[in-house]
Homo-oligomer: A and B are copies of this chain.
Amino acid sequence: MGRPKQFDPETAVEQAMQVFWRKGYGCTTPQDLVDALGIGKGSLYNTFGSKHALFELSLRRYRDTQAKALTDLLAEGGDSVKERLRKGLELLVDMDLADPDRRGCMAVNTAAELARADETATELVRGMFARTEGSFRALIEEGQRSGEIAPDRDAAAIGSLLLNTIIGLRVTARIADGPDGMRRTIRAVLDLL
């Protein structure tokens, strides 16, 4: 009962996520959000309570859409493990560089901006990183079972290395002026596998 919302909260969170992703938490103002969501400040605070609460929802949404897309991509069968790795990394770089705002990864940006200052956000980022690391590790283990990767390699360590690699790549995506350095990085890491 009562008056129904004139806007879709999920859509609003999606739009808020885009803003936070581009500007970071600190540099996003209530005005930015009001403009982007196309609703009044009253509705915004009535629905979400605070800028921080909306940020948390945005970060969760990022996890459930963007971060999930990466793990799905890696889990997809078809090619060989190494080929999937190569495609995944290159797709990531291409997407990051194609973004006109060069936002990189929202989780990485949040880690750099809010670690130690926002425990909830930090924990969400930790979770995303752990999940991605697990996907990489599973992929390596699959490669070991199929004989594509030497079985004496430490799959967990290589998983950590691969997670670390994409974190670095997505920071670099924010400032790189071209794809060359990042492609070299990908080449090096794949050659070493």
Chain A residues in contact with chain B, CB under 8 A? 24, 26-27, 101-102, 104, 108-109, 111-113, 115-117, 122, 125-126, 129, 133, 153-154, 156-158, 160-161, 163-169, 171-172, 174-175, 177, 181-182, 184-185, 187-189, 191-193
Determine how close the nearest CB of chain B comes to the CB of A37; give it in whole angstroms.
Answer: 22
- From B101, B158, B168, B188, contact of A167 by CB (8 A): B168
Complex CA gap A154/B188 in Å reads: 8
Q: Verify A164–B175 contact, CB threshold 8 A.
A: no
Complex CA gap A146/B109 in Å reads: 40
Complex CA gap A192/B181 in Å reads: 20
Q: Verify A157–B175 contact, CB threshold 8 A.
A: no
Oligomer copy total: 2
With A167-B168, A185-B160, A185-B164 known as contacts, the answer to whether A175 contacts B115 (CB < 8 A) is yes
Q: Verify A174–B112 contact, CB threshold 8 A.
A: yes
Determine how close the nearest CB of chain B comes to the CB of A177; give it in whole angstroms.
Answer: 8
Determine how close the nearest CB of chain B comes to the CB of A16; give it in whole angstroms.
Answer: 18
- From B27, B174, B191, contact of A115 by CB (8 A): B174
| Residue on B nearest A109 in the bound complex, by CB | B112
What are 5 of the A-B contact pairs (CB < 8 Å)?
A109-B112, A129-B172, A154-B184, A158-B188, A164-B185
Determine how close the nearest CB of chain B comes to the CB of A103; give it in whole angstroms.
Answer: 8
Q: Verify B160–A181 contact, CB threshold 8 A.
A: yes
Residues on B with C-beta less than 8 A from A175 are 111, 115, 122, 125-126, 129
| Residue on B nearest A167 in the bound complex, by CB | B168
